[in-house]
């Protein structure tokens, strides 16, 4: 190849502008930071408006029909505007053929094929990549979009096969990333000013590399200088142990935050879902968590309208919501996913009934959410400032030590730690007022 050829390529690289749109869970958000790195390394400019982009990359989700519909619609619109459209991620993997056949996407890729993106955008034909099912991207330094908080996938995939869930099919088998790679990534993030890191996995408690388990990983990461706040997501209740909680409680930087998806409070439904715990076990573990972390911010996922869920089953979930007192819940109506076990179950509930149950559940949880937040009004807390609030001049988004989000009615620098008083509630947000200057 001559110099001229290189020059032509150079020009083409700099002309390419790409917009990245993210759907789905935190893992997709973390994946988008890997994609940003891949684009930057290839000299492709990421833009923040579709109007300026030549190409659009969608990191998609298939967990519910609604998530697919949204991405599908966006991809179609972008293609209609003459953009090159790459549908990547979970829906790319599961519905790739249809997306191409229906003219919605130019190219489709699964969650283990992001390395192909720059080559596809630039029209290269050499798309050699690592064997897909072992892909971990552990050599890439993530390019986070927040200046003080970042997420890092410490494992990929899921082996659980809960009967309603498409994730194991979309993301493939579990793979944990070795500590030395994670340490490099964490040190890099710290060097970029990041002070809070979330370690991610669909079932992050199952992290295992050699002798190292998640709890060892948390303990070691916490010893890295400059990391002030450390969290982990998502925990499968079955895999949370008493010993783990005790060791977690001794990690000073660990956020007092547990996201423990319950899904349902009916033993029968939990069995049909193949969740691997009973309600009694779940509540026992919540007890351990509250004992070790009295100020815990406890969140959950709840799924109603699963095939065969009776009115009594549903009411058990309503009761549990009040009894357990979650600070916040992500609540969903069951959505049939082709290829999953539950899709073949008889006794499907009519969609309007699923929606009715969801609405009732949301009402119940809202009541609990509000009560839990009201209980904090008047208290003084340490708040960690993360970013300017989207609306409201001078206000900042901030987090308590237990990760509970608050709005600070004052300007402050992201990364600052302040003493603040919780003064009230506006909508669903707790409002905080700073008391004094930086405490740490
Ligand atoms: N790995 C996490 C969950 C990932 S999916 C865990 O095991 O907890 C996030 C949430 O989406 C799930 O907790 C569940 O509540 C919901 N979900 C998954 N599949 C669904 C489906 N088919 N219909 C409706 N909600 C679903
Ligand atoms: Fe889905 Fe269950 Fe895996 Fe969570 S643990 S991603 S719900 S299969
Ligand atoms: Fe959705 Fe894939 Fe996450 S299906 S929930 S984006 S792992």
CATH number of the domain that residue 406 is part of = 2.40.50.140
Closest CA to 260 of 229, 291, 228, 287: 287
| pLDDT given at position 291 | 98
Helix (H) or strand (E) holding 199: strand 196-200
Atom of ligand 1 nearest to the CA of 235: 8
Question: Domain limits at 184?
Answer: 149-374
Going by pLDDT thresholds of 50, 70 and 90, the confidence category of residue 124 is confident
Q: Classify residue 173 as left (phi > 0), alpha (psi -120 to 50) or beta.
A: beta
Q: Give CA–CA dist 144/29, Å, rounded.
A: 9
Q: Is there a single domain that holds both residue 362 and residue 387?
A: no
Q: Is there a single domain that holds both residue 276 and residue 425?
A: no
**Does residue 336 sit within a domain?**
yes
Q: Is there a single domain that holds both residue 323 and residue 429?
A: no
**Does residue 142 sit within a domain?**
no
| pLDDT given at position 129 | 54
Q: Where does a domain end: 352, 374, 396?
A: 374
Helix (H) or strand (E) holding 15: helix 3-15
Q: Classify residue 291 as left (phi > 0), alpha (psi -120 to 50) or beta.
A: alpha
**Does residue 134 sit within a domain?**
no
> Do residues 63 and 90 make contact, with C-beta atoms less than 8 angstroms apart?
yes
Q: What is the mean pLDDT of residues 112-123?
A: 92
Q: What is the mean pLDDT of residues 382-393?
A: 88
| pLDDT given at position 8 | 52
> Do residues 270 and 279 make contact, with C-beta atoms less than 8 angstroms apart?
yes
Q: Is there a single domain that holds both residue 62 and residue 86?
A: yes
Q: Is there a single domain that holds both residue 333 and residue 389?
A: no
Q: Is there a single domain that holds both residue 272 and residue 324?
A: yes
Q: Is there a single domain that holds both residue 325 and residue 430?
A: no
**Residue to substitute in 25, 164, 168, 200 for testing ligand 2 pocket (most ligand atoms within 8 angstroms of CB):** 168
What tokens appear for 5 in the block?
Answer: 């050829």
Alpha helices in 19-139 (DSSP H): 26-41, 65-80, 90-101, 117-122
> Do residues 221 and 227 make contact, with C-beta atoms less than 8 angstroms apart?
yes
**Does residue 257 sit within a domain?**
yes
| pLDDT given at position 45 | 94
**Does residue 415 sit within a domain?**
yes
Residue identifier of the C-alpha nearest atom 4 of ligand 2: 202
Q: Is there a single domain that holds both residue 389 and residue 354?
A: no
pTM for the structure as a whole: 0.93
Task: Say yes or no: CB of residue 158 within 6 Å of ligand 2.
Answer: yes
Q: Is there a single domain that holds both residue 224 and residue 369?
A: yes
* Residue 7 CA, ligand 3 centroid: distance in Å: 40
Dihedral (CA of 185, 189, 195, 197) sign: negative
> Do residues 16 and 122 make contact, with C-beta atoms less than 8 angstroms apart?
yes
**Radius of gyration of the chain from Cα atoms?**
23
Q: Is there a single domain that holds both residue 384 and residue 327?
A: no
* Residue 76 CA, ligand 3 centroid: distance in Å: 20
Within 13 Å of residue 44, how many CA atoms lie on the same side as its CB? 24
Q: Give CA–CA dist 176/198, Å, rounded.
A: 15
Q: Which ligand places an atom closest to the C-alpha of 201?
A: 1
Contacts of 396 (CB under 8 A, 6+ apart): 385, 386, 387, 388, 389, 407, 408, 410, 411, 412, 414
Q: Where does a domain end: 122, 141, 160?
A: 122
- Report the 10 Å Cβ neighbour count for 14: 11
Q: What is the mean pLDDT of residues 420-432?
A: 93
* Residue 17 CA, ligand 2 centroid: distance in Å: 35
Task: Say yes or no: CB of residue 235 within 6 Å of ligand 2.
Answer: no
Going by pLDDT thresholds of 50, 70 and 90, the confidence category of residue 168 is very high
Q: Where does a domain end: 71, 105, 122?
A: 122
Residue 431 φ then ψ, to 5° = -100, 135
pLDDT at 1 over 50: no
Structural domain total, the chain: 3
**Does residue 128 sit within a domain?**
no
Contacts of 358 (CB under 8 A, 6+ apart): 304, 305, 331, 332, 333
Q: Three-class SS of residue 50? A: helix
Q: Is there a single domain that holds both residue 390 and residue 306?
A: no
Q: Is there a single domain that holds both residue 403 and residue 316?
A: no
pLDDT at 11 over 70: no
Task: Say yes or no: CB of residue 78 within 6 Å of ligand 3.
Answer: no
Task: Say yes or no: CB of residue 75 within 6 Å of ligand 1.
Answer: no
């Amino acid at each position: 190849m001559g110099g001229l050829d290189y020059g032509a390529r150079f020009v083409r690289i700099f002309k390419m502008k790409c917009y990245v749109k993210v759907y789905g869970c935190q893992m997709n958000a973390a994946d988008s930071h890997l994609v940003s790195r891949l684009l930057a390394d290839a000299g492709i400019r990421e833009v923040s408006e579709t109007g300026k982009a030549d190409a659009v990359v969608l990191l998609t989700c298939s967990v519910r029909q609604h998530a697919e519909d949204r991405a599908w619609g966006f991809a179609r619109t972008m293609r209609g505007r003459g953009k090159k459209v790459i549908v990547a991620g979970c829906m790319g993997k599961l519905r790739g053929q249809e997306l191409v056949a229906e003219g919605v996407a130019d190219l489709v890729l699964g969650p283990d094929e992001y390395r192909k993106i720059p080559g596809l955008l630039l029209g290269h034909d050499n798309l050699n990549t690592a064997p897909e099912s072992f892909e971990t991207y552990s050599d890439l330094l993530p390019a986070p979009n927040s200046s003080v908080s970042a997420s890092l996938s410490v494992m990929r995939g899921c082996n659980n096969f809960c009967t309603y869930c498409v994730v194991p099919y979309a993301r493939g088998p579990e793979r944990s990333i070795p500590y030395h790679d994670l340490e490099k990534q964490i040190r890099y993030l710290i060097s970029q000013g990041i002070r809070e890191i979330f370690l991610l996995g669909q079932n992050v408690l199952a992290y295992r590399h050699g002798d190292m388990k998640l709890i060892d990983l948390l303990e070691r990461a916490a010893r890295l200088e400059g990391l002030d706040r450390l969290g982990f997501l998502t925990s499968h209740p079955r895999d949370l142990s008493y010993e783990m909680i005790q060791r977690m409680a001794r990690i000073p930087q660990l956020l007092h935050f547990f996201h423990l998806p319950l899904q349902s409070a009916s033993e029968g439904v939990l069995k049909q879902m193949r969740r691997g715990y009973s309600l009694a076990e779940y509540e026992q573990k919540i007890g351990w968590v509250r004992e070790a972390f009295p100020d815990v911010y406890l969140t959950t996922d709840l799924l109603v309208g699963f095939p065969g869920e009776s009115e009594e089953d549903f009411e058990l979930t309503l009761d549990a919501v009040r009894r357990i007192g979650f600070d916040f819940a992500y609540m969903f109506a069951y959505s049939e996913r082709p290829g999953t076990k539950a899709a073949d179950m008889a006794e499907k509930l009519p969609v309007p009934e699923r929606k009715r149950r969801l609405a009732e559940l949301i009402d119940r949880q809202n009541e609990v959410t509000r009560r839990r937040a009201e209980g904090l009004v008047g208290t003084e807390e340490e708040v960690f400032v993360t970013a300017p609030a989207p609306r409201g001049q001078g206000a900042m988004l901030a987090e308590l030590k237990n990760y509970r989000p608050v709005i600070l009615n004052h300007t402050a620098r992201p990364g600052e730690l302040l003493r603040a008083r919780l003064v009230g509630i506006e909508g669903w947000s707790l409002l905080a007022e700073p008391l004094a200057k930086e405490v740490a």
